[in-house]
């Protein structure tokens, strides 16, 4: 090779992705909105896990949380109201190489999208589902959502919501083949990040409910939990969400809970005197529909056409 320029034969150095590599357009959420904290956690996760932006996709439906894909410098799909999960499932079925995240709200997921929510949990296709739950329809200016507590006032129920709220954790735990169910809060960034990291590393659908502040319409909603951290119950276990000492010093109300115990997870979710944060349930061996739907993805086009022709020939008269 004497006399020839050979630097083009060298392998390019590995790329290191910085936080800025995942910053999209300027967020337009209200000042103080908990969505900002979740966005930062997602960007930190992508940086810490070194997820290539061209191999990462964020999917959403409609609502305040649904603007998430606009603020991530990665692939994004801003879909229809309540349809984030079937879109994400379709992407997973045909692109098993991608890192998939879903940003959905309590209205988007638990109301118009409730049917898709149930089936997505059942299918257990690998993705991270972030339910940003502020107990109100924020984008359409303060209507009662499925998770609004009984008696809370809104534009649709000025005299107070007449029904007990739907509980996303209890509901998800009741769906057959659920494989990862966790809860965290937006005002504790270290726990939020640790939860999302564990969710991303899970081999299946990881459902993470994030209690999210809405200072514009529900300013006092989570104030008692913020003022008195003892009202939060930190779930600990070697197989749960791993947190450092700084989190444990703040969240002193703790309980060791084995996340493989579904019955205990359901019992904790039903408790009303505290709000549990951490991993409720995990079953890595749960069946995954995306492993079934990925069969045949590498089949050459010629073979697909031949197989289709052979199938149609069966109906010749």
Query: Tens digits of per-residue pLDDT, 116-133?
Result: 999 999 999 999 999 999
Q: Does residue 7 carry a pLDDT above 80?
A: no
Mean pLDDT calculated for residue range 55-63: 97
pLDDT in tens, 130-189: 999 999 999 999 999 999 999 999 999 999 999 999 999 999 999 999 999 999 999 999
Categorize the per-residue pLDDT at 295 as very low, low, confident or very high, splitting at 50, 70 and 90.
Answer: confident
Within-domain flag for 300: no
pLDDT of residue 296: 84
Do 123 and 90 touch, CB atoms closer than 8 A? no
pLDDT of residue 298: 84
Q: Assess whether pLDDT exceeds 60 at residue 98.
A: yes
For 32, half-sphere exposure in the C-beta direction (CA atoms, 13 angstrom radius) is 8
Mean pLDDT of the chain: 94
> What domain count does the chain have?
1
Residue 11: per-residue pLDDT = 76
Is there a contact between 169 and 180 (Cβ–Cβ < 8 Å)?
Answer: no
Question: pLDDT band at residue 254, thresholds of 50, 70 and 90?
Answer: very high
What CATH number did the domain enclosing 83 receive? 3.40.50.970
Distances (CA, A) of 219 to 77, 213, 277: 30, 7, 21
Q: How far is CA 109 from the centre of its chain?
A: 11
Does residue 308 form part of some domain? no
Q: What is the mean pLDDT of residues 258-277?
A: 97
Tell me the C-alpha distance between 212 and 97, whole Å: 30
Q: Is residue 9, in this structure, part of any structural domain at all?
A: no
- pTM, to two decimals: 0.92
Strand boundaries in 212-283, DSSP class E: 232-236, 254-256, 275-282
Q: Give me the mean pLDDT over the 214-220 stretch.
A: 91
Question: Does residue 200 belong to any structural domain of this protein?
Answer: yes
What pLDDT score was predicted for residue 9? Answer: 61
Write the CB contacts of 303 (distance below 8 Å, at least 6 apart in sequence).
none
- Percentage of the chain beyond pLDDT 70 is 97
**Weakest mean pLDDT among 10-24, 147-161, 253-267:** 10-24
Domain holding 155, by residue range, is 15-289
Residue 262: what are its φ and ψ, rounded to 5°?
Answer: -65, -40
Query: 301 lies in a domain?
Result: no
68 lies in a domain? Answer: yes
Nearest to 111 by CA among 140, 131, 82, 88: 82
Q: Crossing angle, helix 84-94 and helix 114-123, to 10 degrees? A: 30
- Segment among 51-60, 151-160, 277-286 with least mean pLDDT: 151-160
CA–CA gap between residue 233 and residue 314 (Å, rounded): 62
| Share of residues in the chain with pLDDT > 90 (%) | 89
Is 85 a domain residue?
yes
* Residue 208 forms part of a structural domain: yes
Mean pLDDT of 185-211: 98
């Amino acid at each position: 090779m004497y006399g020839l320029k050979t630097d083009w034969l060298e392998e390019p150095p590995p790329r290191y992705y910085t936080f800025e590599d995942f910053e999209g357009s300027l967020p337009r959420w209200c000042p103080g909105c908990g969505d900002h904290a979740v966005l930062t956690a997602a960007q930190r996760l992508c940086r810490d896990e070194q997820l290539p932006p061209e191999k990462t996709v964020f999917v959403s439906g409609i609502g305040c949380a649904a603007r998430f894909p606009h603020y991530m410098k990665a692939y994004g799909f801003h879909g229809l109201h309540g349809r984030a999960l079937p879109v994400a499932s379709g992407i997973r079925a045909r692109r098993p190489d991608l890192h998939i995240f879903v940003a959905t709200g309590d209205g988007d997921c638990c109301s118009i999208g409730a049917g898709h929510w149930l089936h997505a949990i059942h299918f257990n296709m690998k993705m991270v589902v972030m339910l940003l739950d502020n107990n109100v329809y924020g984008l359409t200016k303060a209507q009662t959502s499925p998770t609004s507590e009984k008696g809370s006032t809104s534009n649709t129920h000025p005299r107070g919501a007449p029904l007990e709220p739907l509980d996303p954790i209890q509901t998800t735990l009741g769906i057959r083949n659920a494989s990862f169910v966790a809860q965290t809060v937006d005002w504790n960034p270290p726990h939020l990040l640790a939860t999302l990291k564990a969710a991303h590393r899970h081999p299946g659908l990881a459902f993470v409910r994030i209690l999210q502040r809405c200072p514009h319409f529900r300013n006092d909603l989570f104030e008692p939990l913020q003022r008195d951290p003892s009202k939060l119950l930190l779930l600990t276990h070697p197989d749960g969400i791993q947190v450092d000492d700084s989190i444990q010093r703040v969240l002193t109300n703790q309980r060791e809970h084995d996340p493989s115990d579904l019955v205990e997870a359901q019992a904790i979710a039903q408790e009303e005197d505290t709000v549990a944060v951490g991993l409720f349930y995990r079953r890595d061996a749960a069946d995954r529909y995306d492993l079934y739907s990925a069969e045949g993805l590498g089949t050459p086009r010629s073979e697909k056409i031949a197989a289709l022709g052979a199938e149609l020939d069966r109906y010749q008269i």
